[in-house]
Amino acid sequence: MCSDLTNKLQFAENIDFSEILTNPILDIAARFWDNDRYAAFRVCYRSMRIIDDLVDDRRATGEALTDQEQTRYIAMLTDWLEAFKKGRADFPFVTELREIVDRFAMPTWPWERLATAMIYDLSHTSFPSFRAFRRYTEGAAIAPASVFMHLCGVRSESDRFRPPTFDICQAARPLALFSYLVHIIRDFEKDQKSNLNYYADSILQSLDLTLSDLKTAATDGKIEPPLRRLIFTYRRFAEYYRQRARIAVDTVAPLMPPRYALSLEIIYSLYLQIFERIDPEEGKFTTSELNPLPDEVKNRIEVTISAFHS
């Protein structure tokens, strides 16, 4: 690799990950960015977490929402979205978020799609089919990933930023789906104990599984063959999108500065690390089994940086 590129990657040698190795993978990856874009990412990510947690925390109680609650939550989400789009200051982070969106020439559709996915969550406890789940991911996974991809590809010109030269949604989709499917398998135990389910009803039915079966397996640790077939099926889906994610990263990486291309490699590599731990035949699918230890994450980051250099 040319010395010029090597110099541009010196920043990677000065990053101390010792305190953040258990942070979300997107946050770890964004630590490679310039300070202004990392700060922008933090505000964007926090705003999306507010929307997501608002719904997930209620669903985790395990009690069905009443019609009145659904109406109230939908009104809250809709009002927040309108406040964001109009720059009103009566909701948390809206003013700061709006300034960042305007400064970095960001679209507002990721927040709109996220809100749509959360509204779906309010009235559903599962997905009738994998196709329905994939539509849901347009807001729950691809929208946040598109914000990340936008900040990777945005171009600084004079005193302003211009949008990326590529379609951020198309670039983000396969990596987001690979990551989200791995995330769902990794969090099987935690999600089931929190009354959250992301497995399609039609697939469960084809394997003679019920939601009660999933919760029981997560609680008592007894893994029956039908659950192993379910994990095998979702691992196969993840592999499909992994291959496409590899192509997508290779395609857009040359269109952005090295530190942002490296951040995409970090995301791919850390989710691949989890993916490689999924063992449908012998695994227990527990949180401890599927989550790499901090030292393992640190080593994978170092290996990824070294490979990127070479």
In this predicted structure, what is the pLDDT of residue 9? Answer: 43
Beta bridge partners of 200: 127
2 pLDDT above the threshold of 70: no
**Can you say whether residue 210 is alpha, beta or left, with left for phi > 0 and alpha for psi between -120 and 50 degrees?**
beta
**Helices and strands of the chain, counted as H and E runs:** 16, 2
For residue range 213-241, list pLDDT tens digits in order: 999 999 999 999 999 999 999 999 999 99
Q: What is the DSSP-derived secondary structure letter of residue 194?
A: T
What pLDDT sits at residue 193? 92
- What would the pLDDT profile of 111-161 be if each residue is shown by its tens digit? 999 999 988 888 888 899 999 999 999 999 999 999 999 999 999 887 789
Contact 206, 234 (CB under 8 A): no
Q: Examine the pLDDT at 264 and tell me if it is beyond 90.
A: yes
User: 216 lies in which domain range?
Assistant: 3-309
**Alpha-carbon distances, residue 147 vs 68, 104, 113, 199 (angstroms):** 33, 10, 12, 26
pLDDT for the residue 20: 46
What pairing do the DSSP bridges indicate for beta strands 160-162 and 155-157? Answer: antiparallel
Domain count, the chain: 1
Q: Give the pLDDT of residue 273.
A: 98
Output the six-digit token pair for 183.
Answer: 């995330």
CATH number, domain at 50? 1.10.600.10
Lowest-pLDDT choice from 5-14, 49-58, 170-179: 5-14
Tell me what the mean pLDDT of segment 49-65 comes to: 76
Between 300 and 19, whose confidence is greater?
300
Cα–Cα distance for residue pair 98/105, rounded to 1 Å: 10
